[in-house]
Structure 1
Amino acid sequence: MCGIVAIHDPVTTHAELGHQMLDRVRHRGPDGYGSRTVGDTWLGHTRLAIVDLADGDQPLGSDDGHWVVANGEIYNHSDLREDAGYAFRTRSDSEAALAAARSGSDDDLAELRGMFAFVVAHADGTVLAARDPLGVKPLYWVRDGSMTAFASELGAFDPQTRPHVEEFPPGFRWSPESGLARFRDLRTDVAPVESRDDAIAAIRSSFVDSVRYRMMGDVPVGVFLSGGLDSSLVAAVMARYADPSRGPIHSFAAGTKDSTDLAAARRVADHLGLEHHERVFGPDEVVAVLPDVVGCMESYEPSLVRSGVPNYLLSELASTTVKVVLTGEGADELFAGYDHLRAIDHEQLAEELIRSVEGLHNLNLQRCDRVTMAHGLEARVPFLDRSLVYLAQRIPIEWKLPRERGQEKALLREAFAGWLPDDILWRPKEQFGDGSGMADVMQREAYRVAADRDWQAVRVAGLPAPRSREELAYQRMFADHLEGVHPRVLGRFATA
C-alpha cells in the first residue's frame, strides 16, 4: 500500500510539481520515497512496505524499460508468475501489475486479483494507468493542456488545479492513444446457483479463500473487530488458518466506554484466542479529531464521518502493532444486510445491490482507505474479492431476504455455523457509528461543532443545504481541507 503520483506531458517535465504532490501523500507510505522520469512521464512513489521488503522499492522497472508506480496489493501475483512469459526481477506483487500492463492485453489486466491503482511508463513516451474494478484503491487525475497528472488523493493536487480534478473510474485503463477503456466489469450473467445448500457451500469456500489470500505479506497482519457478524467472520477465518510461527492474530476495537461494539468484540477475541487491543474514546477526543477525519476522508457525509472517527482512532492504535488489517466492508451490499433493503421490490433489489457495490468506492471504501492510510496502515477487504462479488449475483434474491430468526444475511450466518458463538453469529446488525457509541456522542456534541443559532439558514458555498447541524460542521471542515476550490465544483467531491 502506498501513495503514487504520475505526471505525463510530452511538452515539458514536471519534476518539481511531482515532488510537491508526492509530499502531500507522504503519510500513505512512511517506509520509502522514490521518483524517476521515464520518457514523457514523471513517476513518484511513497512506500508502505508489505511484500518483498528488500527489493520492492518503486518506481519498479523491467528489463525492457517499463517502469511502474503502484498502490495496493495483487493477491494472485504468485499464480500469475507461472504463466506470465515475463522475467520477474523481484518478489513484489506490484511487478505482476507491471507485467500485465507491459503485455498490452486487457485480458491480462482483468486477471489481476486484488486492489490496485497504478501507472506504467516507458522511455518511448507510452504510458498506461489502471484502477481495480471496485475502486478499493483511490486514483484521481486531471487533464490540463498537454499534461495529464495522477495522484492517490485529491489533496495531492495544487489548489488551482483541484477544480479540474476528476476521479479515475474503477475497472478502466487509460493511455493517450486509446483513451479510457473498461477492462473488467463487476456484473455477470452466469447461471444462478441451483440450490440453497450449494450457495452456502460456495459462500464458505469463496470467503475462506479470499481471507487467506489477504493474509499474504511479509509483515504482521491484524483485523478490525467490531463484534458484528462481518468482522467476526473475518477474524474467525484468520484464527483458523493463521501460521502459528508468525505469532498471534492481533484484533483491534474502538468505542465509547459502554459501547456494545467493545463488549461484543471482547467476546469474539476471547473465543478465538486473539491478542486484543482497545481504543476507548470520549466526547472531547471526538470533537478534537473531527477536522482531521473529515480532511483525510475528503468527505462530509455524516454517516461516513461517524464511522470514520472510530476507525481513524483505531487505525492510529493498530499502526503501532501491525502494518495490515482486514476489515468487514462489503458484506451488507452483497447479501442485503441493510434494513432499508427489505422494502425494495424483489425484482429491483438485485439491481440495487449491484449498484450499491459499484458505488462503494465513493463511500465505505473511501473512508476505509483514507482513515487507515492517514496512519500508514493498509486495510484489506475480503468480502469484496471478485469471486464473492460474482457469486453473490448468482444467488437468487429470495435466498438473501430474512429467514432464520428474522435476521438479515441468513445465508452468510448459516455458512459459518459453529465458527462463532451463536449469540455473535446471530447478533442483530448495528451501524458502526451506533455500536461504537459515536452516534450518541455526536447527538450531544452537535452544538459544539456548529454553534450557529439558526444553522438551517447557513450554507457553505458550492455545497447542498445541510440536513443537520452536524452536517454543517462537517461541510465547513471539508471546505477548509479543499481551500481554493471554486464553489461550483466543490460539491463534486462531497463523496469522491
Structure 2
Amino acid sequence: MCGWGLLANRDGRPVERGRLQAMADAVAHRGPDSEGIVTLGPVGLAHRRLAVIDVDDRSNQPMRDGDNWLLFNGAIYNFPELRAELEGLGRHFHTQSDTEVLLHALDQWWTDALPRLRGMFSFVFYDARRQKMLLGRDRFGIKPLCYHLSDRVLLAGSEAKQLLATGLVDSAPDQDMLRRFLEYGHLNFDARSFFVGIKALLPGHLATYDLTTRAFATARWYDLAGEVEPLTIGYDEARERLRALFFDAVRTHHVANVPLGASLSGGVDSSSIAAASASVVGDPGRFPVFTVFHADRRHDERGYAAQVAQRFGYRQVEVPVSLVDYYTPEWLEAFAWSQDQPLPSGSHFNEHALFRAAHEAGVTVMLDGQGSDEYFGGYGEFWLAAQREAVGGGRFGEAWQNFRGRSLTTGDGLPLTLRKYLAAGRQSDRLISPLMAGIWRGGGTDSYTPVAPPTGYKPLSLDELTRTSIPYQLHSQDRNAMQFGIESRVPFLDHRLVEFVMGLPTRFLVGKGWQKLILRDAMDDLPDTVRWRRDKIGFSSPDASFGRDHPDRMAAMIDDALRVLAPLLDVTTLRERIAASARHSLPYDPANFRLISLAAWVRRFAVPL
C-alpha cells in the first residue's frame, strides 16, 4: 500500500522536480517508510512507500528493470505463482516483492498481464521498449487512481490533492457533482470527481499514454457482468465450494511481513473473516480485532463481537466513537481533506476511530468485511428483489417463508411487511432530499434525474458492486486507512469469490426466510448467536440523535454552511424549511449533514464558488 504520482509534460519539456516533490509530500501519510523520485526527461515519477511485502529497501519504488520503471500501490496475492511462471520464461528476480513480479509481468505480457492478477492495485508502468506508459486499476477499484489531462500535461496519482499540489490544475468544482451530492447524497458513481479538472480511472479499466505521439486513451479490461455464468449445482456443493473459495481468499489476504489485524463488528461478514483467519494467524493473541461502538446502545455490537473473539482466542480492542468530538468544523475539514470530497454521514467517524486504534496497536494491515452485502444480499433492496423473482416465478411457498423471516428481522410483523413490499413496488428509493428539492441556484445542468436501481437481484448486485455502493465504500475506506499508514484489505472482493456467488441461484442467497443464507450455512465455525442473528447495524452512526441532543451546535454549523454555500442555494427557503422541520419534529434528513460537510470541503480546498 503506497501513494504514487505521475507527471508527463505533453509538450516535451523536462519535468520540474519540485512538482514531483509536492506530489510525494501530499501523500506522505500513505507511505511513511520511504520516498522515491525519478525524472525521465518529460516524465516524472514520485512514490511514497508503506512496506508490507519484502520490507527491505531493495523493494522501494520507483522500481527499475533496465529502462523500465514501475509505480505500484496495492498487493498482488498470487505473486508467488506468477513469479514461478515468469522464472520459467527466463526472468530473473532480485527481491521477494510482489512489486518486482508486477514489473516483469507487465513487460512480459503488457495488458494481458492484468487478467492474470489476483489482488488490489493501481499502477503506472513506464515501458521504454514500447515507448508507452500503461496505467491500470483493479477490478473493483479497491486502490485509487485519479488523473488530469490537458494539452499541456498528464497528471495521475493516488489522491486528487496530489494533482492540485502541482499547481497545474486548480480546485474549480464540478457543480453538477455538488448538486447531486446535496440532493441525493451521490458519491463516486462515475469517473467524475468534485474537481472539474480531475477524473478517476474507473475500476477494471486501463489507460495508455504513447510517449511518441502523446496520445492518451482509456479502455475497460474487466467486466464483471461478462464473467458471471449461471451455475447449475446443488446447494450442498455450492456451500462447500463457497467455503473453500472464501477460506482461500482470506488466506491469501494474510500474506504480509508486518503485523495484521481485523475489524470485527459482530455481524456475519467480519465474523466470517475472523473465523477463516483462525487457521492462518498462528498465535491468535497476536491478531487483534477491533470493534467500534457508540454510547447509543442501538449502535453497540460489542457483545456479539466478543463472542467471536473469545471463540477464536483473539484479543479484542473496543473502540469508542464520540460524535461530540467529531462534529466540529475543524474535524469536518480534516475529513474533507483526507477524502478529497465531502462526507455523506458520520459513519466515516467510525472508520477513522477504527484505523486510529489499529495504528496505535501497531497494526499495518487490516482485514475488513467490505463487499459482502452487495452480492450475498445483505440489504433490504436485495430481499425485495428476491421476492419479486420468487413471486414472478410462481414460487409462492418460498416467498411466504421469506416474508415471515423478514418480519422477524425487522420486527414489523407479517401484515406490515406485506404492505411495505407492495408499496416498494410503486416508488423509487432514489428520491430527492425533501430539504434540498428546488433549492439549487448554482451552475451545471438544469436538472438531474438519478438512474432508478434495477429490480432484478443480479442486475441490482452488479449495479451496487460497480456503480452505486462499492466505489464509494472503497474510496472512503482507502482514505481513512491510509491516514494512519494502514493497508486495508477486503477478502470478500476476491474476484473468484464474487463471480462464483453471482452465478448461484438467488434462492441460495436469500431463501428459507434468511438473507445471506448460504454464507451463514457455510460458516458453521461461528457461534450460532452470531451466525443466525437477524438484526443488522454495521458501520452506522447516530447522526439524527446528535442534532436533537446538541441543537445549538448543529444550528451554528448549519448557519456557517449556508453562508459558505450561499452562491449555490436559495438560502432563504432553505432556512425556512430547516426551521419548519424543527418546529414539527419532522424525520431527520441526511442532507443536514451533507450541507455542513460540503461547506467544510469548500473551505479546506479554497474552492471558488
Common topology (TM > 0.5): yes
- Correspondence 1:181 to 2:219: yes
Report the more deviating stretch, 157-166 or 353-362.
Answer: 157-166
Task: Please show how residues 203-222 of structure 1 align to structure 2 within 5 Å.
Answer: 203-222=242-261
Q: Does structure 2 retain, via aligned residues, the 8 Å contact 1:21–1:157?
A: yes
The corresponding residue for 1:476 is 599
Whole-angstrom CA distance in 1 between matches of 2:323 and 2:531: 31
Q: Does structure 2 retain, via aligned residues, the 8 Å contact 1:433–1:439?
A: no
The corresponding residue for 1:79 is 81
One of 366, 371, 381 as aligned partner of 1:330: 371
Task: Please show how residues 3-152 of structure 1 align to structure 2 within 5 Å.
Answer: 3-10=3-10, 11-12=12-13, 13-54=15-56, 55-62=58-65, 64-84=66-86, 85=89, 86-123=91-128, 125-152=131-158
Structure 1 residue ranges without an equivalent (≥5): 488-496
Whole-angstrom CA distance in 2 between matches of 1:275 and 1:123: 49
SS where residue 305 of structure 2 aligns?
helix
Give the CA deviation at 1:17: 1.2
- Correspondence 1:252 to 2:286: no
Q: Does structure 2 retain, via aligned residues, the 8 Å contact 1:127–1:175?
A: yes
Give the CA deviation at 1:172: 1.6
Whole-angstrom CA distance in 2 between matches of 1:199 and 1:138: 33
Whole-angstrom CA distance in 2 between matches of 1:115 and 1:89: 23
SS where residue 241 of structure 1 aligns?
coil
Give the CA deviation at 1:313: 0.9
Give the CA deviation at 1:176: 2.1
The corresponding residue for 1:448 is 553
One of 221, 226, 229 as aligned partner of 1:190: 229
- Correspondence 1:161 to 2:170: yes
Whole-angstrom CA distance in 2 between matches of 1:462 and 1:112: 45
- Change over 3 Å in CA distance of 1:393–1:271 after alignment to 2: same
> Which deviations, in whole Å up to 9, do the C-alpha atoms of 1:361-390 show, x marking residues without a partner?
531111110101011111000000011111
Whole-angstrom CA distance in 2 between matches of 1:82 and 1:351: 38
Whole-angstrom CA distance in 2 between matches of 1:442 and 1:67: 52
TM (norm. structure 1) is 0.89
> Which deviations, in whole Å up to 9, do the C-alpha atoms of 1:12-56 show, x marking residues without a partner?
213221211221111111111111123532111101110111121
Identity %: 29
Task: Please show how residues 376-415 of structure 1 align to structure 2 within 5 Å.
Answer: 376-403=485-512, 406-415=513-522
Give the CA deviation at 1:309: 0.6
- Correspondence 1:238 to 2:255: no
The corresponding residue for 1:172 is 205
Report the more deviating stretch, 345-354 or 220-229.
Answer: 345-354
- Correspondence 1:422 to 2:462: no
Q: Does structure 2 retain, via aligned residues, the 8 Å contact 1:283–1:441?
A: yes
- Change over 3 Å in CA distance of 1:455–1:130 after alignment to 2: closer
Q: Does structure 1 retain, via aligned residues, the 8 Å contact 2:547–2:554?
A: no
- Change over 3 Å in CA distance of 1:414–1:144 after alignment to 2: same
Q: Does structure 2 retain, via aligned residues, the 8 Å contact 1:30–1:46?
A: yes
Whole-angstrom CA distance in 2 between matches of 1:443 and 1:339: 27
TM (norm. structure 2) is 0.74
- Correspondence 1:201 to 2:240: yes
SS where residue 83 of structure 1 aligns?
helix
> Which deviations, in whole Å up to 9, do the C-alpha atoms of 1:434-492 show, x marking residues without a partner?
3x6566446644752453479899956569998532221111122233323x55xxxxx
Give the CA deviation at 1:267: 2.2
- Change over 3 Å in CA distance of 1:443–1:468 after alignment to 2: farther
One of 325, 334, 341 as aligned partner of 2:382: 341
Whole-angstrom CA distance in 1 between matches of 2:279 and 2:340: 37
Aligned residues: 478
SS where residue 103 of structure 1 aligns?
helix
- Change over 3 Å in CA distance of 1:149–1:415 after alignment to 2: same
State the one-letter code of the partner of 1:260. Answer: D
Give the CA deviation at 1:274: 0.3
Aligned-residue CA RMSD (Å): 2.6
- Correspondence 1:2 to 2:2: yes
> Which deviations, in whole Å up to 9, do the C-alpha atoms of 1:211-245 show, x marking residues without a partner?
0000000001100111111001101111232233x
Report the more deviating stretch, 309-318 or 85-94.
Answer: 85-94
The corresponding residue for 1:264 is 304
Whole-angstrom CA distance in 2 between matches of 1:447 and 1:469: 14
Give the CA deviation at 1:261: 1.9
Report the more deviating stretch, 261-270 or 79-88.
Answer: 261-270
> Which deviations, in whole Å up to 9, do the C-alpha atoms of 1:332-359 show, x marking residues without a partner?
0011110122223437221110111112
Q: Does structure 1 retain, via aligned residues, the 8 Å contact 2:147–2:163?
A: no
- Change over 3 Å in CA distance of 1:66–1:443 after alignment to 2: farther
